[in-house]
Amino acid sequence: MTDATTMAAETGAASTNALLEVRGLEGWYGESHVLHGVDFNVHQGEVVTLLGRNGAGKTTTIKAIMGLLDKRRGSVRMAGQETISLQARHIARMGIAICPEERGIFASLSVEENLTLPPKLAEGGLSIDRIYELFPNLKERRRSQGTKLSGGEQQMLAIARILRTGSKFLLLDEPTEGLAPVIVQQIGRTISALKKEGFTIVLVEQNFRFAASVADRHYVVEQGKVVDMIPNHALDANIEKLHAYLGV
């Protein structure tokens, strides 16, 4: 199967293939071996979640895809091109953008500087005006220090700034963590709107109800491996199994 898809990618049959193919991905933080062979695919235009308990390796998987680990091994192919030996900035230039778990809003930059920091890497990114239309709070507070925003506003800013870059493949790490329900709904609407516009999204989530409201498929991560895949339409049928995985 792996060989077949790889060959197909090389022969250019992109429409039937995964946009992102992760195979046998291993990752380390310093000395500690966190990922033990992660396998999954993401197709063009899909929203896919990584579900799992704390410490299962979801965030590490996202970081490994982006090239942010000290050491990684295996295979991560973006549109058929191997990225495992590339540095983060080269991976970013292939059209992958990250919204990190800790949000990564810069304290020494204003809201507007935070928003315009990531350079445009491709055509088709959202304009500043369109972003301010989507997130009116950011416009109102554009001169404020980035970290003076509320948690929800910082999360909006962290998502908004990667929409400007033209990258169509987004890695969102727990965008709803610690936010009020009304903000979570707004983020859900934003993700759905992005999907309609053709963005491909990998979403790390603890909150599987939220995940179910936006995603096409769910991968379950456990002890540094993908142990199961559940299509969103089969979620109800698999709810017991999922509860067991997540320990809820």
Partner 1 sequence: MFELLGIPPQVLMGQLLIGLINGSFYAVLSLGLAVIFGLLNIINFAHGAQYMMGAFGAWMLLNYTGIGYWPALILSPIVVGAIGIALERTMISRLYKLDHLYGLLLTFGLALIIQGLFRNYYGVSGLPYAIPPALQGGQNLGFMFLPNYRGWVIIASVVVCFGTWFMIEKTRLGSYLRAATENPELVGAFGINVPRMITLTYGFGVGLAAFAGVLAAPIYSVNPNMGADLIIVVFAVVVIGGMGSIMGAILTGFGLGIIEGLTRVFYPEGSAVVIFVIMAIVLMIKPEGLFGNNA
Specify the stretch interacting with partner 1 by CB under 8 A; choose among 31-39, 64-72, 182-190, 223-231: 64-72
Q: In terms of CB distance, is 105 or 184 closer to partner 1?
A: 105
3-state secondary structure of 62: helix
Instruction: Single out the residue of 2, 33, 81, 106 in contact with partner 1 (rule: CB under 8 A).
Output: 106
User: With binding defined as CB under 8 A, does residue 68 bind partner 1?
Assistant: yes
Instruction: Single out the residue of 104, 177, 229, 235 in contact with partner 1 (rule: CB under 8 A).
Output: 104
Per the CB < 8 A criterion, the answer to whether 222 and 60 are in contact is no
CB atoms within 10 A of CB 44: 16
Q: Which of 33, 12, 169, 148 has the alpha carbon at shortest distance from 80?
A: 12
Instruction: Show contacts with partner 1 in window 145-164 (CB under 8 A).
Output: 162
User: With binding defined as CB under 8 A, does residue 66 bind partner 1?
Assistant: yes
Min separation Cβ 91 and partner 1, Å: 8
Q: How far is CA 102 from CA 158, 176, 197, in A?
A: 10, 11, 26
20 CB contacts (<8 Å, ≥6 apart)? 41, 42, 65, 76, 77, 78, 169, 200, 202
Instruction: Single out the residue of 97, 179, 202, 230 in contact with partner 1 (rule: CB under 8 A).
Output: 97
Q: For 77, left (φ over 0), alpha (ψ -120 to 50), or beta? A: beta
Residues binding partner 1: what is the number (CB under 8 A)? 25
User: With binding defined as CB under 8 A, does residue 143 bind partner 1?
Assistant: no
Where along the sequence are the contacts to partner 1 (CB under 8 A)? 66-68, 87-89, 91-93, 97-98, 100, 104, 106-109, 113, 116-119, 121, 162, 165
